[in-house]
A and B are shown apart, each in its own frame.
Chain A
C-alpha cells in the first residue's frame, strides 16, 4: 500500500495584498493566508490514491508556525499526518534550499513510494522545488502530470501534458517525485466533521537539528539568490472607459478600434 508524501506551501493570498501604486509598495500586513492553490490538487491526488489503493498520506510544509493552518486543512481533506519543518535558520531559504530541507524530511520519514508536489506555488511560481527535490533524493521525477494512469507496488505510469497538447505517457520505478498540473483533478471541500476531526490528527514539528540539516546549506546563508526589491508593476495603459447604453458604448469602442488601425474584415 502506497506511502505518499505531499509537499505544500502556506502563502499570502495574492488577491488580498494591498498594492500601493503611488508609493510603489506592497503591503502584506493583515493579508489573508492560504494553501497555495495548486497544492490543493496535489493533496487531492494523494488522497484519491489512498482511497483507491490504501496506504497513508503525510503532508510536509516548510514554514513558520502559521503554516500549521494549511497543514490542518490538508489533514481535513484526508491526509493522515502532518510534519511542519520550522526553524528560524530556515528563514530566507530560496527554492533550492527549501527543496534541500524537504529532502531531509522525506529521508527522515524513510519509507515512501511517492512524493507529490504542485508545479509551482501561487506566490512565487518558480516551479523549482519539485524537480530540485527529486535531485536531492536522487529518485525519478515526472513533471506536469495531468493523469496518474497506473500505480503498482513498484511502478507508476502517468500522463504529462506539455505545450500545444502534446501528451507524453511515461513510467518509472518507485519511489518517485511527481509534480502535478492543476487540471489533474478538482479538489474537494472538506466537511465540517472532517475539519473538526482533523484537529485530532498528528502534526509534528521538525527543526534543523532533528532533520540533521547542514546549517551552511539553509536559510539566507545557503541561498544563492537574493531578492533585492519588490516593485509594483507599472501600467501605461490609456484607460479610456466608456459607460452608457450598449449601442453607444459599442459605437465609441468601434470608432476607437478603427482609429487605432485595427482591421475589420
Chain B
C-alpha cells in the first residue's frame, strides 16, 4: 500500500510515518513538506526510516502565499501520481483545512481526528470522539481516504534514511493572499508539553482569584490551563490555555481540574492524562467519574489547604 503523508510542520512527519507503517501497513510512504516552512531543512527533519520519497513543495519566493493552498495543490499533484490508499495529515489547524479540501478534490473519503487508525478486513478503520466526548464512533471506509491524525498520538519514527528528494514547483494561484503574520503574546506557557497542568473552571468567581493557583503551580512545577468558559466566554485566559475539544489536548503526568464540572467538551482534552485530580463543590459533577483522586469541597478553602499540606509533607 502506498501512502502520502503531509504536515506543514515537518516535526510531526515522523509521527505520521509511524501511523502509516505500523498501524496501517503502508509499504511505500511518501512525505510532502513545504519548502517555505519556517523550519529550516524541512526535508531533513522528515527524512526518517520508512520514507521513500520526499516532495518538497516550492512556490514563488513570496512568503505570503497561503500555505494551505500550496499544500492542497501540491498534494493533489502527488496523489494523482502516487495513487495512495490513504493520505495522513497532521491535525493542526492548517491540516484541518487541507485534509477536507484535498479529499473533496480527489473524491476520497475524509476522516478527521482519527484515533487508533488500523486495517480490519481490507477496510481502513479509525475511532473518533463524538457527541462532545460522550461517545466514540468507529468509522470505516473502503475507499481511498484522507485522515487527519492528532499530534502526539503516535511515537515518532526514528532512524536514518535517504529518501529520494523531489522538489515540486506549485503555483496554486493567489486566491487567498497572506498580508501579514503576527504573534500574539502567549507568554512562555505551553500547556501542551507541560508535565503538570492545573486547570481552572467556572468554580472561580472572578478573574483575580485565579492567582490562587499560582503558588500551587509553582510547587508542582506546573502550568495553568482553563476550561472553555474561562477562555472563550469570559476571556479571563488566552485561548491557547484552553483544554478541551475546541482547545488544546494535553497529556500531562498530572492534571488537576479545579472548579471544573467536567463537561464532555473539557474531558476530551485531558482524558489521556496520566493522573487526574479533581476539586469541585458538586459531588455529582461528571469530573469525579473521570478522576483518580477527587476532593469534594470549595476550591477557595481546599487550594490553600493543599498548598500548606504539600509544603509540610514534601521531602
Contacts and interface: CB of A to CB of B under 8 A. Distances in A.
B181 A168 contact: yes
Contacts of A240: 292-294
Interface stretch (A45-53, A59-67, A117-125, A194-202): A117-125
A239 B294 contact: yes
A170 interface: yes
Interface in B106-123: 108-113
**Size class of the B contact interface (CB-based, 8 Å):** 35 or more
B178 A168 contact: yes
B238 A249 contact: no
Interface stretch (A85-93, A204-212, A222-230): A222-230
B176 interface: yes
A134 B72 CA distance: 13
Interface string A1-40: 0000000000010110101000000100000000000100
B96 interface: yes
B225 to A, nearest CB: 14
Nearest to B109: A224
A162 B136 contact: no
Contacts of A168: 178, 180-181
A264 B104 CA distance: 51
Interface string B32-68: 0000000000000000000000000000000000101
B92 to A, nearest CB: 6
A223 to B, nearest CB: 8
A238 B246 CA distance: 27
15 contacts: A15-B263, A17-B135, A124-B128, A125-B113, A165-B184, A166-B181, A169-B179, A182-B232, A183-B232, A228-B138, A238-B293, A243-B295, A253-B277, A254-B306, A265-B314
Given A230-B135, A257-B254, 18 more contacts: A122-B265, A124-B128, A127-B112, A132-B103, A135-B104, A224-B110, A225-B109, A227-B137, A233-B129, A241-B291, A241-B295, A242-B294, A247-B305, A251-B305, A254-B310, A258-B310, A260-B254, A264-B314
Please give me the 3 A-B residue pairs with the lowest Cβ-Cβ distance, nearest first.
Answer: A250-B305, A224-B109, A165-B184
